[in-house]
Amino acid sequence: MSEFDVIVIGAGPAGSSAAIKLAQGGMNVLLVERGDPPGTKNVSGAVLWGDELSKVVPDWERSAPIERYVTRKEVAFLTEKSKIAISYSSQDLMERKSGKIIVRGKFDQWLARKAKDAGAMLVTGITIDKLVIDGGKVIGVMQDGDVITSDAVIVAEGANPRVLINSGLRPKLSDHDVALGIKETIKLPENVINERFNVDSKGGYASEFVLGFLDDGILSGGFLYTNRDTVSLGIVASLDRLRANGMTHSYDIMGKFEEHPFIKNLIKDGIPDEYAAHLVPEGGLASMPKLYGNGYLVTGDAAMFTFSNGMVLQGINYAITSGILAAETILENKGKISEETLSNYVNKLRNSYVLSDLYTFNGIQNVTWSDFTQKTMPKILDSVMMSMFDERGMPKKHLMQVLSAAVKSNGMKYTELISSGYRMMRKM
Ligand SMILES: Cc1cc2nc3c(=O)[nH]c(=O)nc-3n(C[C@H](O)[C@H](O)[C@H](O)COP(=O)(O)OP(=O)(O)OC[C@H]3O[C@@H](n4cnc5c(N)ncnc54)[C@H](O)[C@@H]3O)c2cc1C
């Protein structure tokens, strides 16, 4: 007889959502988190998109620590001296409350407490080393030489899947599998944020950036989200390119981003509060481990469930949904846990947006992490804008001619632009 029905490894969004669902279904659940309290090890901007959490915590927005709702969304290309942005502000976006800006430290603690309230046993400050496998079946977890037994284990350990690797259930990560995220939290008075970002006290600004000004082959995106009285500023950089360059450190990229003229003004007089680094799954289907086995299921970042197209970075919603679906699969198969019964988890993921998005956008990283998107596009756009708005008392040209000249001056052929642009539109 096992000590627990289910052990959940990691009290991030995936693990806590799974634990809530399992406890609500009457299961005896142990939720183990290495951070103390939960959230201390977690790094996201973060915007939580969607409303999946209401499936396990109805009316969750009433008690959740939501900083602001996204009312201004930007996507911007930065060159050395310019910013070319698409900015979307909408009252409808406010009414729909689709993007909730959260601070992970507060949010993860709140969600783990919900799991505890639902009846799960939450243990913090404990790191699980590996799964215990007996006769091909996972029968529990090992922590510092001790074995804790359970009928099933949900692996929700995040983007650095050491438990899976130590248990021989996935290969080590390569530089293609993950990117490196860095986030700084900067304190600014609430009224300054409202004025500077043109939002009211409930509304929020969220922007993704292409850092087209970086040199030496480095590829990196950036983000800036407004919390209530802090802003989250960060980068997500290609490990491949950092390694190939060998000279640039991730904090150099962060430094250049902070010093960019358009960012510098936004964070002026801010007081740095926190600085943290974390991996972000970026490899898509090719990096995904086996999602189930005899006695275990893999969820969230540990399963490499994220979506990033340069306009949004989403992972928290995928984590919550996969956690709930993993819990559902176990609840439906209580007393008959096997590899075969747990395989239904994959069907559930396929029928949800989680796996469906991963298949639809398979290979998108070849577009988002490309020199065309991150280097050539910003330069071409910058040249076009400059030609349009720099009045020199000369005869004006049609947009097509301006674009053609900009393409040429950036060392590209027009046909190359069309084919790269077409590939980009098809993948995004
Ligand atoms: C810089 C950055 C910005 C991001 N911005 C966004 C955003 O704006 N919106 C969005 O949706 N997503 C964003 N993401 C992605 C998002 O953070 C993840 O997709 C999400 O956190 C995944 O949730 P999870 O529960 O699977 O993993 P995690 O949130 O990583 O949680 C895993 C938990 O497991 C614990 N743990 C790990 N190993 C063990 C162990 N061996 N024993 C016990 N506990 C363990 C960890 O401490 C952690 O609490 C961002 C990521 C980064 C790095």
157 CB within 6 A, ligand 1: yes
- Residue finishing a domain among 239, 256, 281: 281
**Is 72 part of any domain?**
no
Where in the sequence is the domain holding 267, given as residue range(s)?
Answer: 178-281
**Is 247 part of any domain?**
yes
**Is 98 part of any domain?**
no
Domain identity same for 222 and 151: no
pLDDT, residue 211, reads 95
Block means of pLDDT (10 residues each) for the chain, 428 residues, are 97 98 98 92 84 96 96 95 94 88 95 98 97 97 97 98 98 94 96 96 95 90 96 94 84 94 96 93 95 98 94 95 98 97 98 96 90 92 92 90 90 84 82
**Is 231 part of any domain?**
yes
Domain identity same for 245 and 184: yes
The residue among 292, 96, 119 whose CA lies nearest residue 203 is: 96
Domain identity same for 153 and 193: no
**Is 350 part of any domain?**
yes
222 CB within 6 A, ligand 1: no
Domain identity same for 130 and 22: yes
Instruction: Residue count of the chain, please give it.
Output: 428
- What distance in Å separates the CA atoms of residue 9 and residue 138, rounded to the nearest whole number? 13
70 CB within 6 A, ligand 1: no
- What distance in Å separates the CA atoms of residue 242 and residue 236, rounded to the nearest whole number? 11
pLDDT, residue 39, reads 84
pLDDT, residue 44, reads 67
188 CB within 6 A, ligand 1: no
| Ligand 1 midpoint to CA 245 (Å) | 27
CA 137, 33, 250, 48 torsion: positive or negative?
positive
pLDDT, residue 90, reads 85
Domain identity same for 227 and 264: yes
Nearest CA to ligand 1 atom 19: 315
* Atom of ligand 1 lying closest to residue 49 CA: 11
- Residue finishing a domain among 335, 362, 389: 362
- DSSP code, position 163: H
Answer whether the bond into residue 37 is a cis peptide, omega within 30°: yes
**Is 87 part of any domain?**
no
- Residue finishing a domain among 362, 384, 412: 362
CA distances for 68 relative to 61, 174, 225, angstroms: 11, 36, 10
pLDDT, residue 305, reads 97
- Residue 258 in contact with residue 235, Cβ under 8 Å? no
221 CB within 6 A, ligand 1: no
Domain identity same for 39 and 145: yes
- Residue 36 in contact with residue 122, Cβ under 8 Å? no
Helix or strand holding residue 417 (H, E): helix 414-427
Nearest CA to ligand 1 atom 10: 314
35 CB within 6 A, ligand 1: yes
CATH number at residue 47: 3.50.50.60
Q: What are phi and psi of 327, to 5 degrees?
A: -60, -45
pLDDT, residue 215, reads 84
Q: Beta partners for 275? A: 184
CATH number at residue 182: 3.30.70
Domain identity same for 137 and 36: yes
**Is 308 part of any domain?**
yes
Both tokens of residue 204? 């929020």
46 CB within 6 A, ligand 1: yes
**Is 73 part of any domain?**
no
Beta strand pairing status for 29-33 and 121-124? parallel
Q: What are phi and psi of 279, to 5 degrees?
A: -85, 150
Domain identity same for 241 and 265: yes
Domain identity same for 128 and 267: no
Total domains in the fold of the chain: 3
Domain identity same for 276 and 308: no
